[in-house]
Amino acid sequence: MSSPVIEPVARLIEALSRLPGIGPKTAQRLTFHVLRAPDSEARQLAAALIAVRDEVVFCERCFNISDAPLCPLCRDPGRDGRRLCVVEEPLDVLALERTGEFKGLYHVLHGAISPIDGIGPDRLRIRELLDRVEEAFAAGAPFEEVILATNPTLEGEATAMFLDERLDGRVGLVSRIARGIPVGGDLEYADEVTLIRALQGRRAIRA
C-alpha cells in the first residue's frame, strides 16, 4: 500500500523526530509549518542549520561552543580567572550566565559519568579539566575555587565525587552547588532527595 506522504516530507519528519524532545506528532507539525512558511523563512532555517555545523566549534580551553579557537568567555579579560565552574553541557553555561551571578570561567564536561550507559571519565572532558587545573597549580597560581555544578542526579553526583577526589590539594576550594526547594515549589511535591538536600543546605536567616 502506497504512503500518502511523499518522500521529501517523510525524510524531514523522520529527521526532526530524531531530535531530543521531538516526537512523531511534533515532527509532523514542524514539517507542515515549514511547508506553509514563506520560502525565505524555510531557506533561513536551512542556512542556519548548515551554519551551525560549519561555523560552530568547541572552545579549545573550556569546550563551550564557540566561533573561534577560544570562546567569548575565555577571551574576556574581565572574567575572574581564579574561579572555575564545571558544568555538564553548554546549555548549563547559558543558564548560569543568565543569572549574572558568576563572573569566573567555565569548563564543560559534555556529559556525566554513567556506568550503566557505558560513559566513563574517558568519554568526557575530565582529563582536559585536570590538566587545566594542574597547569595552573604548577604555575604557582592555582584556582582559588572550583565549583562543581553538575546536575543533581545520580550521574551528576557521581561525577562531582569523582572530580572532588582528584582536585583535592590542587585548588584552594572545591565547592558544590546547593540544591533544595525551587522558588514557588511546595514541600508536598518535592522528592525525598530534594528535601534532604534542602535540610542539609539550610542556613541561618540572620548571619
Question: Which residue spans of the chain are classified as CATH 1.10.8.420?
Answer: 7-55
Whether the Cβ atoms of residue 180 and residue 201 lie closer than 8 Å to each other: yes
Considering the domain 7-55 in this protein, what is its CATH number?
Answer: 1.10.8.420
Topology at the third CATH level for domain 75-176? Dna Topoisomerase Vi A Subunit; Chain: A, domain 2 (3.40.1360)
Give the chain's largest Cα–Cα span. Answer: 74
> What's the pLDDT score for residue 132?
98
Asked whether the whole model's pTM tops 0.75, one would answer yes
Question: Which residue spans of the chain are classified as CATH 3.40.1360.10?
Answer: 75-176
SS3 for 84?
A: strand
What are the CA-CA distances from residue 194 to residues 54, 155, 199 (Å)?
41, 15, 9
Kindly give the confidence (pLDDT) of every residue in the chain, 207 residues in length, as a single tens digit, with 9 standing for 90 and above: 556 778 899 999 999 999 999 999 999 999 999 999 999 999 999 999 999 999 999 999 999 999 999 999 999 999 999 999 999 999 999 999 998 999 999 999 999 999 999 999 999 999 999 999 999 999 999 999 999 999 988 899 999 999 999 999 999 999 998 877 777 777 777 778 778 877 777 776 665
DSSP code at position 1:
-
